């Protein structure tokens, strides 16, 4: 990574075996608040370079796996300190290339570092081999590294969703090839290079591009684990690509997370109303675990909608990510803006009412960038696309329900099951939560506000396979290796 003389344009190269590798072609990454401004350039890694990166990781694995856990933790802690020291620079770059407001970019670094610290604190006990003496002899259970990890991350939380993979993978003794998303490659590459500076050459490699490079990473026989975060449709391609060589996989995929407001929810609780608004519109709604459909008990529905609009108009201020008044920035890219617009227009055509939310702080900027005014969509049918599909942007439908059985059914009939939330009296909410099919269910909070990196996170059904975060998020980068030592050579049920 180099910063050009004008300190403005960032140039990223592939990082293979401890070195930047020059590429023949570069792609411009625009600023979503002003698409004519180029934030930086990243390369399209060739197939040959991707293979080189995988081979570098495979070569480094031979010695890296022999290092002690203490050595790895020491290196990772130094990397954490370096990221912390560079936080402001990283946050500015992330905000410029992504469009998320500065406070939100800081939040991403905060969660990333919290997780990396947790992984360092827990790695030793999580990976400690267990020895059990029993009536048949002795069993040793060890947590061995898997090998070369292909880590593929999306654009919405490019740093958090890269470090969520890098930290545990390396602590567990694996080597890695990271491919960030072409929609937000710069800050993730910068953080990966900072981490790499503390590790031996080849332990972390970074390549760039989209599906072409992704296919090499997910099909190459030297890759033994895929850690992927992204869309469910992409995951289906990945599963096919990996099937030839049967790779270990963690897949964190799309969601259509429901927020359920029970009759016992207090619509006059302004802090709770603010929380649900934030849980719908943080990062302009571009979060896997954002509340994407809201169901409200019919007895409180009208008042809820009124209070929701008030709370949303107070909190949502759409503007320049570098303006400290801004709470919501642009959508990251034109493709996603059009997906969201398409769903809102479709809902309107089907007869829904679309209510714009919040204030636009800078009309000129709003018109120039990939901005979308957040919207509330009322009067939808429960099976309209805006309700059943993942919109991944600043719009949310609110629908009434009549009884718990009905809303539990609506929740569970989704093909997704990442997170959900239930709001109301605690015991009523927990009782409904127990009946929901999801990886995480939050009570009286939702989305990132209810995330706890100490516990496993992941989806059920088409929202994913496996878990990240928590102790499980470290062990997922290991093979459980059992070594049995029998006490006697007698074979009790086999004839002599
Ligand atoms: P995406 O699936 O389009 O891309 C994700 C990554 O996969 C990118 O790096 C992309 O270049 C790469 N890719 C694309 N085609 C590939 C292929 N054929 N083989 C290998 N790699 C390929 O997703 P996105 O648009 O970047 O992210 C948005 C999606 O990610 C949403 O569905 C969101 O819900 C999901 N997401 C899930 C979580 C979670 O933890 N469950 C977190 C964040 C985002």
Averaged pLDDT for residues 160-181: 98
Residue 272 CA to ligand 1 center (angstroms) comes to 31
- Of the candidates 115, 97, 117, 95, the one whose C-alpha atom is nearest the C-alpha of residue 106 is 95
pLDDT on residue 7:
52
Integer-rounded Cα Rg, in Å, for the chain is 24
Residue 230 CA to ligand 1 center (angstroms) comes to 2
Residue 288 CA: which ligand 1 atom is closest? Answer: 34
Please choose from 231, 241, 250, 419 the residue to mutate so as to test ligand 1's pocket, defined by most ligand atoms within 8 A of CB: 231
| Residue owning the nearest CA to atom 26 of ligand 1 | 154
Query: Distance (Å, rounded) from C-alpha 345 to C-alpha 337?
Result: 12
Token readout for 12 is 């990223």
pTM of the model: 0.97
Residue 230 CA: which ligand 1 atom is closest? Answer: 30
Element (H, E) at 39: strand 34-43
pLDDT tens per residue across span 326-367: 999 999 999 999 999 999 999 999 999 999 999 999 999 999
462 in ligand 1 pocket by Cβ < 6 Å? no
Other CB atoms closer than 10 Å to residue 332's CB: what's the count?
26
Structural domains of the chain, with CATH: 2-253+459-482 (3.40.605.10), 258-450 (3.40.309.10)
Mean pLDDT of the residues in the chain: 97
151 in ligand 1 pocket by Cβ < 6 Å? no
Residue 209 CA: which ligand 1 atom is closest? Answer: 11
Phi/psi at 9 (5° precision): -95, 120
pLDDT tens per residue across span 96-155: 999 999 999 999 999 999 999 999 999 999 999 999 999 999 999 999 999 999 999 999
pLDDT on residue 8:
75
Helix (H, G, I), strand (E, B) or coil at 19: strand
Q: How are the residues of the chain apportioned to helix, strand and coil, as percentages rounded to the nearest 5?
A: 40, 25, 35
Residue 306 contacts by C-beta under 8 Å, 6 or more apart in sequence? none
Under 8 Å between Cβ of 430 and 268: no
- Using CB atoms within 10 Å of the CB of residue 408, give its burial: 0 to 12 exposed, 13 to 18 middle, 19+ buried: buried
Residue 350 CA to ligand 1 center (angstroms) comes to 30
pLDDT tens per residue across span 270-294: 999 999 999 999 999 999 999 999 9
Residues recorded for the chain: 496
Catalytic residue numbers read 252, 288
pLDDT tier, 376 (very low <50, low <70, confident <90, very high otherwise): very high
């Amino acid at each position: 990574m180099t910063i050009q003389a004008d300190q403005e344009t960032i140039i990223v190269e592939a990082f293979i075996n401890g070195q930047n590798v020059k590429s023949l072609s570069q792609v411009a990454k625009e600023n979503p608040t002003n698409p004519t401004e180029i934030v930086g350039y990243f390369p399209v890694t060739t197939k040959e370079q991707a293979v080189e990166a995988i081979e570098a990781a495979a070569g480094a694995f031979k010695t890296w796996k022999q290092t002690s856990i203490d050595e790895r933790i020491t290196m990772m802690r130094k990397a954490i300190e370096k990221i912390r020291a560079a936080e402001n620079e990283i946050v500015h770059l992330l905000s410029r290339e992504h469009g998320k407001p500065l406070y939100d970019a800081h939040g991403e670094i905060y969660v990333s570092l919290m997780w990396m610290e947790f992984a360092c604190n827990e790695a030793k006990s999580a990976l400690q081999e267990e020895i059990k003496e029993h009536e048949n002899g002795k069993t040793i259970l060890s947590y061995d590294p898997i090998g070369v990890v292909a880590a593929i991350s999306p654009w919405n939380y490019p740093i958090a969703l890269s470090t969520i993979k890098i930290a545990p993978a390396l602590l567990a003794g694996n080597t890695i090839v990271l491919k960030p998303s072409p929609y937000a490659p710069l800050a993730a590459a910068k953080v990966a290079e900072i981490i790499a500076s503390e590790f031996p050459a080849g332990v972390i490699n970074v390549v760039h591009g989209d599906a072409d490079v992704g296919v090499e990473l997910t099909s190459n026989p030297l890759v033994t684990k895929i850690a992927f975060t992204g869309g469910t449709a992409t995951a289906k391609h990945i599963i096919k690509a990996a099937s030839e060589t049967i790779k270990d996989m963690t897949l964190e995929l799309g969601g259509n997370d429901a927020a359920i407001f029970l009759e016992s929810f207090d619509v006059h609780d302004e802090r709770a109303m603010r929380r649900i608004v934030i849980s719908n519109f943080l990062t302009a709604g571009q979060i896997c675990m954002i509340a994407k459909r809201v169901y409200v008990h019919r007895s409180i529905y009208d008042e809820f909608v009124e209070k929701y609009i008030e709370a949303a108009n107070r909190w949502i201020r759409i503007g320049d990510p570098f303006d400290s008044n801004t709470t919501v920035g642009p959508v990251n890219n034109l493709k996603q803006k059009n997906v969201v617009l398409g769903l809102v227009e479709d809902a309107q055509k089907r007869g829904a009412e679309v209510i714009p939310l919040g204030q636009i702080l800078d009309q000129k900027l709003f018109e120039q960038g990939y901005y979308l005014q957040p919207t509330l969509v009322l009067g939808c049918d429960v099976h309209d696309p805006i309700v059943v599909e993942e919109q991944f942007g600043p719009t949310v439908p609110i629908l009434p329900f009549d009884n718990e059985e009905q809303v539990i059914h609506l929740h569970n009939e989704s093909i997704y099951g990442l997170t959900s939330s239930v709001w109301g009296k605690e015991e009523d909410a927990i009782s409904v939560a127990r009946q929901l099919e999801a990886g995480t269910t939050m009570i009286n909070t939702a989305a990132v506000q209810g995330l706890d990196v100490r516990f496993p996170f992941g989806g059920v059904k088409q929202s994913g396979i496996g878990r990240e975060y928590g102790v499980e998020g470290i062990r997922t980068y290991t093979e459980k290796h059992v070594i049995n030592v029998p006490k006697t050579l007698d074979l009790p049920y086999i004839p002599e």
